[in-house]
């Protein structure tokens, strides 16, 4: 019978070792025994940017990057996007199963009753400059909630955690809408508990003097689908930040602020804003070929293209493209779509992109939809952060409940000077 083990011969000592293999991995700590003598620390692995290191066991999200498969708790993303609401999917991601009807009713009611912000938080937001970037405002305001809910630091208490999870999912759209209204100088709109999660968000964004803002149901549903697609994506940069910061037992508001910071970068969630800027620079379909030439020459990257895990079409990008058509039926076609389609066509036929397995990722088309809906590009990453809060919280909770996890603290390979004495001149 085939043994699930790795035999290692250390050429330095001629010693042999047998390292067990579980789930296609070896434990890095099993390598520590491989040493040249008593004063040798033992072998470590070196893996900058976690190219080939699993940092945890997780039962939340499955991705097969070669085949372009994404599943939450076993359910294909395509089915969830078609058949479920965002809050149903949030429940699934957090608790492992889709809710029954009564469970969903309670869950929606609980999230809805946590949408209000403390008035001092509203004042806090007022202190930002008129041109502050919404992602900076979002991250700082979420961090500030830590001061409003000091009990949230008891992260090992299940009930305390459960309450903060509801608060965060409920309040993220409210903060996001406030950052938007602040940048426009509009008065804040309080949440309306009669509305669904996305309708309420649209109401807080767009309501002016009318007593009730009737959100377009197609746009509200399209946003709901986009939220489902963005809800979790296993150990990405921001989820890793959430787990790393949370592993010190920092409270969830501060940990989510760290995850927001990670998401804001242009190589991660900030890419959707960069895609729109890129399409503006390209300007028209005729300029696409020349632009791609510059990308190939290494002048800059094609934003919204490429992924650490997907080496095939990102399944989310396919659904976003489908949703774009539905949104354009309501809003009219965003002319940037033609540039994006041409960019995709040329890139997917080009040897440079084929060889490197570079395909459009979720950020390539999402900005085009958001812009058609009326959002400024600076808001795009905030629109990503709202649903991703669910994934961050699920990853955080899983980490805290995992007996194998400890404070995240990588090793290093020191390359600086050897010990030397200070000699004053
Ligand atoms: N445009 C042009 N070339 C690219 C791109 C791109 N978008 N992405 C990767 N490459 C090239 C790299 O230059 C490299 O080429 P080389 O082998 O000749 O040096 C090769 O493809 C491999 O790329 P890496 O940077 O090693 O891949 P990595 O897994 O580290 O990076 C990342 C993944 C960060 C997503 C990268 O593809 C990128 O920067 N894309 C643009 C930004 C973007 O869209 N980010 C959003 C990702 S999805 C998300 O976070 C929600």
Substitution candidate for ligand 1 out of 296, 302, 306 with most atoms within 8 A of CB: 306
Rg of the Cα trace of the chain?
24
Q: Whose CA is nearest to atom 22 of ligand 1?
A: 356
Three-class SS state of 75: strand
Mean pLDDT of 235-262: 98
- Active-site residue 363, yes or no? yes
- Selected catalytic residue, list 64, 268, 338, 350: 268
> Does residue 270's CB lie within 6 angstroms of at least one atom of ligand 1?
no
Residues 6+ apart with CB under 8 A from 28: 44, 45, 53
Residues 6+ apart with CB under 8 A from 114: 166, 167, 169, 170, 171
- Give the position, in ligand 1's atom list, of the atom nearest the Cα of 307: 35
In whole angstroms, what is the distance from residue 359 CA to residue 339 CA?
A: 16
Distance 281 CA to ligand 1 centre (A): 20
pTM: 0.96
Which pLDDT score is estimated for 96?
Answer: 98
Which pLDDT score is estimated for 425?
Answer: 85
For 195-205, write each residue's pLDDT tens digit: 999 999 999 99
Distance 307 CA to ligand 1 centre (A): 6
- Give the position, in ligand 1's atom list, of the atom nearest the Cα of 356: 21
Residue with tokens 């992924």: 307
For 2-18, write each residue's pLDDT tens digit: 889 999 999 999 999 99
> Does residue 354's CB lie within 6 angstroms of at least one atom of ligand 1?
no
pLDDT of 364 over the 80 cut: yes
Distance 303 CA to ligand 1 centre (A): 9
Which pLDDT score is estimated for 334?
Answer: 87
The pLDDT > 90 percentage for the chain reads 93
- Give the position, in ligand 1's atom list, of the atom nearest the Cα of 237: 50
For 151-169, write each residue's pLDDT tens digit: 999 999 999 999 999 999 9
Interaxial angle between packed helices 158-184 and 197-206, expressed in degrees from 0 to 180 and rounded to the nearest 10? 30
Which pLDDT score is estimated for 254?
Answer: 98
- Active-site residue 307, yes or no? yes
pLDDT of 407 over the 80 cut: yes
Share the mean pLDDT of the chain: 96
Which pLDDT score is estimated for 2?
Answer: 83
Which pLDDT score is estimated for 308?
Answer: 93
Q: Where are the alpha helices (DSSP H) in 303-350?
A: 315-331, 336-349
> Does residue 85's CB lie within 6 angstroms of at least one atom of ligand 1?
no
Which pLDDT score is estimated for 120?
Answer: 94
- For residues 169 and 393, the answer to whether their CB atoms sit within 8 Å is yes
pLDDT of 1 over the 80 cut: no
Distance 413 CA to ligand 1 centre (A): 26
The pLDDT > 70 percentage for the chain reads 100
Which pLDDT score is estimated for 213?
Answer: 87
pLDDT of 235 over the 90 cut: yes
For 286-320, write each residue's pLDDT tens digit: 999 999 999 999 999 999 999 999 988 889 988 99
Which pLDDT score is estimated for 423?
Answer: 96
Which pLDDT score is estimated for 131?
Answer: 93
φ/ψ region of 73 (left if φ > 0, alpha if ψ in -120 to 50, else beta) reads: left
> Does residue 391's CB lie within 6 angstroms of at least one atom of ligand 1?
no
- Active-site residue 338, yes or no? no
Q: Whose CA is nearest to atom 47 of ligand 1?
A: 268
Would you say the C-alpha torsion 25, 29, 34, 35 has a positive or negative sign? positive
């Amino acid at each position: 019978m085939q043994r699930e083990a790795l035999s290692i011969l250390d050429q330095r000592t001629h010693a042999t070792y047998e390292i067990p293999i579980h789930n296609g991995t070896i434990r890095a700590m099993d390598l520590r025994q491989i040493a040249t003598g008593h004063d040798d620390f033992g072998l470590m692995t070196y893996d900058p940017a976690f190219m080939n290191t699993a940092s945890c066991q997780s039962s939340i999200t499955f991705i097969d990057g070669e085949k372009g498969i994404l599943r939450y708790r076993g359910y294909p993303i395509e089915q969830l996007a078609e058949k479920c609401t965002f809050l149903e999917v949030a429940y699934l991601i957090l608790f492992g199963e889709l809710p029954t009807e009564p469970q969903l009713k309670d869950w929606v009611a609980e999230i809805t009753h946590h949408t209000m912000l403390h008035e001092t938080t509203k004042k806090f937001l007022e202190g930002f400059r008129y041109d502050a970037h919404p992602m900076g405002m979002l991250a700082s305001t979420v961090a500030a909630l830590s001061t409003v809910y000091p009990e949230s630091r008891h992260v090992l208490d299940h009930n305390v955690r459960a309450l903060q999870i509801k608060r965060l999912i409920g309040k993220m759209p409210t903060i996001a809408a406030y950052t938007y209204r602040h940048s426009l100088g509009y008065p804040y709109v309080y949440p309306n508990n009669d509305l669904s999660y996305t309708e309420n968000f649209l109401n807080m964004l767009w309501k002016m003097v009318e007593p009730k803002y009737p959100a377009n149901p197609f746009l509200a549903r399209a946003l709901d689908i986009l939220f489902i697609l963005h809800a979790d994506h296993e150990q990405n940069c921001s989820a890793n930040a959430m787990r790393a910061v949370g592993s010190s037992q920092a409270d969830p508001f501060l940990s989510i602020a760290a995850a927001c910071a990670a998401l804001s970068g242009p190589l991660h969630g900030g890419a959707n804003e960069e895609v729109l800027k890129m399409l503006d620079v390209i300007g028209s379909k005729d300029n696409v070929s020349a632009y791609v030439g510059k990308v190939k020459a290494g002048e800059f990257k094609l934003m919204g293209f490429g992924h650490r895990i997907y080496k095939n079409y990102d399944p989310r990008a396919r659904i976003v493209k489908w949703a774009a058509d539905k949104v354009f039926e309501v809003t009219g076609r965003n002319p940037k779509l033609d540039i994006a389609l041409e960019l995709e066509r040329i890139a997917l036929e080009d040897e440079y992109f084929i060889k490197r397995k570079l395909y459009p990722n979720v950020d390539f088309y999402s900005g085009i939809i958001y812009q058609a809906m009326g959002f400024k590009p600076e808001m795009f990453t905030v629109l990503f952060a709202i649903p991703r809060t669910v994934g961050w919280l699920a990853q955080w909770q899983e980490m805290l409940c995992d007996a194998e996890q400890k404070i995240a603290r990588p090793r290093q390979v020191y390359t600086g000077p050897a010990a030397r004495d200070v000699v004053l001149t």
